[in-house]
Structure 1
Amino acid sequence: MKRVAFVFPGQGSQEVGMGKAFYDSYDEVKQLLDQADTALGTSITSLMFDGPQDELTKTENAQPALLLTSAAVLQLLEKEGVKPVMTAGHSLGEYSALVAAGALEPLEAARLVQRRGQLMEHAYPTGKGAMAAVLGLEQADIQHVLDQLDEQEAVDLANINCPGQIVISGTKAGVEIASEKLKEAGAKRVLPLNVSGPFHSRLMKPASEEFSAALKETDVNDADVPVYANVTAEPVQAAAEIEQLLVEQLYSPVRFQQILEQFVEADIDAIVEVGHGKVLTGLVKKVKRRMTTFNIQDPESLEKFMTWYKEES
């Protein structure tokens, strides 16, 4: 049996039409997504299938939409007998990874990330926070620049994605000042991100405290397989540790490059991006070009993966 790792996309991969081909093709997906509409108290499916894009992109909508698309694909993979030996997700994607590992039920996870999205959206005044992608500069050099900023400018490392691609997050003024200084320090480009808040920075601490209360109302189980946590880039399976790391994740950097470095060196045959988009597949290739990868976001890509999976090694 082939050994595969699952990775799950985070916010930014949402797109109108996501999940619709699965919904139209598989009764079990239709049932899951119809149940999600009821559980969330809103027609998340109509937003996913018909938009508008700006409404789907709102954090409290994008997060359950992405999780549910991944959960739908997981259902189909489980039906085919495909189970990962390890999982990880990028930011929000960590919740999908926990669903894959049996630590969270899909509908409970959808409710939880809907609440997470609401808290993140309102944690910091709209328009006052910002994020930017820094290309072509080492982590230590970026950190050195950030350490020179005034305390009130508050900018942190947010996503360590792959060699040469790191995201910073903080106050709008701080990110603008840091962007200029990073260009002076040798960054090839610094690109502002179209996000609604300073995610994965110290400015999310207030949201983490409220989120901790929401998490206590959710059933979190021990994971069946290792889930590599964003905060530590280390495997975790105990429910109590999972809960603590999910709280810390809101204001801590996503160490995705470190996670991928461990995945590509592990005894696995492929890394499979489960859910909408191909962002993480691209990051894998930047860490190890020759790693076998798949992304499953529609019935055709599912069929392609299953054909490979069933082939004799």
Structure 2
Amino acid sequence: MGKIAFVFPGQGSQAVGMGKALAEKHADVMEYFMKADKTLNSQLSKLIFEGPKEELTLTINTQPALLTTSIAILDFFKKSGIKADFAAGHSLGEYTALVAAGALTFEEGVYAVRKRGEFMENAVPNGEGSMAAVLGLDRDKLAAVTKEVSDSGVPVSLANLNCPGQIVISGSKQGVELAGVKAKDAGAKRVLALEVSGPFHSTLMKPAADQLREVLDGIEMKDASIPVVVNVTAEPISSAPEFKDKLIEQLYSPVLWEDSVVKMIELGVDTFIEIGPGKVLSGLIKKIDKTVKTYSVSDAESAQAAIEALKEEKL
């Protein structure tokens, strides 16, 4: 059997009620939601379990909500004895991966992403930044488009390199619109505006990065127990000082998700287990390499199915 990677979703995977059924049946799962409430001095668990959706979708709430739910599900899943050789997360999910790998405590992770969400929301006035998914254009052509637009004075850059033919661009509203038009002229099949509250992973996030550095400087990160493949370089790292720098860079740099998955496959990973709500990452991984196995673990049933399948493979 090859190596296993635990991967954790980012913003967009959240849903009202995520983790609720599992938490109601298992006291140790519920404990994570209670710890998050205490750490943030808020009723985050009530928001996760009951909504409203509009409030849960706010970046400042989504980030700690997703980290909490993913780690609670991971704890339930890990009791089966299944261990990972690598961890990785998409954007916000990188913090979840660092908690999973022991580089951050759960409480530190929840606190850091609440502050991260706050800084990201405040970095650019509402309506001035945007993001769009560009489908069917390769990265070099799209990078040339965003450079041309940025050089004309309206910032836009590659934000998420998700899988072949799916890249998200981010920047000023005008920059994203102009790049979208030029991307279509260059051969893109579709350009879809995303419902987000800011231009994440673009240079416009640099003010948020400066604030985030202060928060991370106040946290004593540890070396990771397993390598975490980070968004900024798509390389596995384990050392605490490196993680800190990469988390700060991540705010204004592209998420190299496709490269990260390819790197893990090169390192022997043939099984990816997505831990948390939704199946976004599993879908992207399959588009990157159809031959690998993917499991999405979001509740007791999917956890059990994955555990049984993995134990069968070992026999």
SS of residue paired to 1:153: coil
Partner of 1:199: 200
How is 1:226-305 mapped onto 2 (pairs within 5 angstroms)? 226-305=227-306
Query: Structure 1 residues 11 and 156, CA, compared in 2 at 3 Å: closer, same or farther?
Result: same
Where in structure 1 are there 5+ consecutive unaligned residues?
Answer: none
Partner of 1:159: 160
Q: Provide the rounded CA distance (Å) in 2 between the counterparts of 1:171 and 1:70.
A: 31
2:278/2:298 contact within 8 Å kept: yes
How is 1:163-182 mapped onto 2 (pairs within 5 angstroms)? 163-182=164-183
1:133/1:192 contact within 8 Å kept: yes
Partner of 1:74: 74
SS of residue paired to 1:286: helix
1:38, distance to aligned residue in structure 2 (A): 1.2
Matched, 1:308 2:309: yes
1:150-194 CA-to-partner distances (Å, cap 9, x unmatched) read 453100100000000000000001111111111111100000000
Instruction: Name whichever of 170-179 and 256-265 sits farther off.
Output: 256-265
Q: Name the amino acid aligned to 2:122.
A: H
1:116, distance to aligned residue in structure 2 (A): 0.3
Matched, 1:138 2:138: yes
1:227-261 CA-to-partner distances (Å, cap 9, x unmatched) read 00100000110000000000000000000000111
How is 1:83-98 mapped onto 2 (pairs within 5 angstroms)? 83-98=83-98
2:158/2:169 contact within 8 Å kept: yes
Partner of 1:113: 113
Instruction: Name whichever of 51-60 and 79-88 sits farther off.
Output: 79-88
Partner of 2:13: 13
State the identity as a percent: 50
- TM-score, normalising length: structure 1: 0.97
1:130/1:193 contact within 8 Å kept: yes
Q: Provide the rounded CA distance (Å) in 2 between the counterparts of 1:57 and 1:123.
A: 18
Q: Provide the rounded CA distance (Å) in 1 between the counterparts of 2:2 and 2:134.
A: 37
Matched, 1:185 2:186: yes
SS of residue paired to 1:38: helix
Q: Provide the rounded CA distance (Å) in 2 between the counterparts of 1:237 and 1:119.
A: 26
Q: Name the amino acid aligned to 2:279.
A: K
Where in structure 2 are there 5+ consecutive unaligned residues?
Answer: none
1:77/1:83 contact within 8 Å kept: no
Q: Provide the aligned C-alpha RMSD in A.
A: 1.2
Partner of 1:24: 24
Q: Name the amino acid aligned to 2:84.
A: P
Q: Provide the rounded CA distance (Å) in 1 between the counterparts of 2:262 and 2:3.
A: 17
Query: Structure 1 residues 181 and 96, CA, compared in 2 at 3 Å: closer, same or farther?
Result: same
Q: Name the amino acid aligned to 1:73.
A: I
Q: Provide the rounded CA distance (Å) in 2 between the counterparts of 1:88 and 1:159.
A: 15
Q: Name the amino acid aligned to 2:89.
A: G
1:218, distance to aligned residue in structure 2 (A): 1.5
Q: Name the amino acid aligned to 1:253.
A: P
1:143, distance to aligned residue in structure 2 (A): 0.9
- TM-score, normalising length: structure 2: 0.97
SS of residue paired to 1:62: helix
| Count, aligned residues | 313
Q: Name the amino acid aligned to 1:267.
A: G
Partner of 1:43: 43
1:22, distance to aligned residue in structure 2 (A): 1.4
SS of residue paired to 1:187: coil
1:69, distance to aligned residue in structure 2 (A): 0.9
Partner of 2:219: 218
1:49-96 CA-to-partner distances (Å, cap 9, x unmatched) read 111111000001000011011110121233222221001100000001
Q: Provide the rounded CA distance (Å) in 2 between the counterparts of 1:100 and 1:243.
A: 16
1:122-141 CA-to-partner distances (Å, cap 9, x unmatched) read 00010100000000001010
1:42, distance to aligned residue in structure 2 (A): 1.1
Q: Provide the rounded CA distance (Å) in 2 between the counterparts of 1:203 and 1:81.
A: 43
